Amino acid sequence: MLALRYQNKQLNVTDVPEPEAQGSEALIRVTLAGICNTDLEIIRGYAEFEGTPGHEFVGIVENAPDKNLIGKRVVGEINAGCGNCQLCKAGDARHCRGRTVLGIHKRDGAFAEFLTLPVENLLVVPDEVPDEYAVFTEPLAAAYAILERVHINDQSRVAVIGDGKLGLLCSQVIQHKKTPIVLIGKHPDKLSIVNKYGIETALVGDINWNKEFDVVVEASGSPSGFSLALNLLKPRGTLVLKSTFHGTTEINTAPIVVDEISIIGSRCGRFEPALNLLKENMVDVKSLINETYPLKQGVKAIKHASEKGSLKVLLRNE
């Protein structure tokens, strides 16, 4: 089958053997896959991954131990636990130490014609949700995870830093809490995507808030975003850290202690609430799509996704 491979610091679309489903795994024919910033970070060395990247997908079950699943349109949670440890038994494969992670850690990912995942990771996509929306389930779940980690209500003053894909999704998800929210970014065209839904937006250069927010979500993935977040937060406020990137950041930790800030690391989320948001058409993901490439043009697609100002680039199997 065709796959976009990252190996020896090289990115190529090549022919590789089809993966074999083992144990409780299903074999899935990938219909559509999304390129995420984490994929771009992987290509910069993050997570020391080699193989097929890609963890945002929608596909059709080709084969599975549960025959009812065959032919179903599915999305899949990306962490596959060992199944035996305390965390897995408590239902938290996301933090299993022996876990594999689709396209990120010891498991080939979605930039290929086929992938395998345990059947317990799969969720059937409701008919109302087209592929182009369903492929956003994973990043939308990551955005929704904020609400499961931090108490936000209609009295909270919330800022999201970063008008990239993640920031645009986070701001829309948080808005449904009827929270006074502002999205802070550098690109008027990107900010306008959510501005039209009544979300307040601001350009980084224009803001002069000082310690006024209860919660700030750092979704820009830049060290300056981290410092800005500390300046925006009220004492005892909460900084939600969403972005992973390769390398270290220079941080002045004193304000964290002096203002008694809480920093909450937040990664993946549950797919079910994300699929519900898509089903109810409560989040605009369509406006985030820049372009769709066939898998065989994967290298070009990655290049496009890496360009400054890019939003979501998709890969389609034809």
Which residues form the interface with its own copies (CB under 8 A)?
Answer: 46, 87, 92, 94-95, 97, 149, 211, 226, 234-236, 241-267
Place of tokens 């919660």: 215
Q: Least distance to its own copies from the beta carbon of 251, Å?
A: 5
Which residues have CB under 8 Å from 100's CB, separation 6+? Answer: 79, 80, 106, 107
**Closest of 244, 261, 243 to residue 252, by C-alpha:** 261
- Residue identified by tokens 């109302």 is 128
Judge contact between 55 and 101, C-beta under 8 A: yes
CB of 263 to its own copies, least distance (A): 4
**CB within 8 Å of 305: residues ≥ 6 apart:** 35, 39, 40, 290, 312, 313
Instruction: Rank residues 22 and 86 by Cβ distance to its own copies and give the closer one.
Output: 86
Min CB(210)–its own copies separation in Å: 9
Please report how close the Cβ of residue 86 comes to its own copies at its closest, in angstroms: 10
- Within 8 A by CB and 6+ apart from 132, the residues are 32, 285, 286, 289, 292, 314
In angstroms, give the least distance from the CB of 77 to its own copies.
15
C-alpha 15/C-alpha 12 separation (Å) is 10
Please state the closest distance from residue 31 (CB atom) to its own copies, in A. 28
- Nearer to its own copies by Cβ, of 228 and 261: the residue is 261
Nearer to its own copies, 203 or 258 (CB): 258
**Cβ-based nearer residue to its own copies, 70 or 251:** 251
Report the residue number, 15 or 257, with the smaller CB distance to its own copies. Answer: 257
Least gap, CB of 53 to its own copies (angstroms): 16
43 or 263, CB closer to its own copies?
A: 263
Separation of alpha carbons 52 and 315, rounded Å: 13
Residues 110 and 137 sit within 8 Å (Cβ to Cβ):
no
Q: Decide whether 129 or 173 has the Cβ nearer to its own copies.
A: 173
Cα separation, 41 vs 306, in Å, equals 10
Give the residue ranges of DSSP H helices in 21-76: 37-43
Closer residue to its own copies in complex, CB, 68/248: 248
Q: How far is the CB of 95 from its own copies (least distance, A)?
A: 3
Of 221, 124, 125, which Cα lies nearest the Cα of 170? 221
CA 119 to CA 76: how far, in whole Å? Answer: 9
Cβ atoms of 233 and 259 within 8 Å: the answer is yes
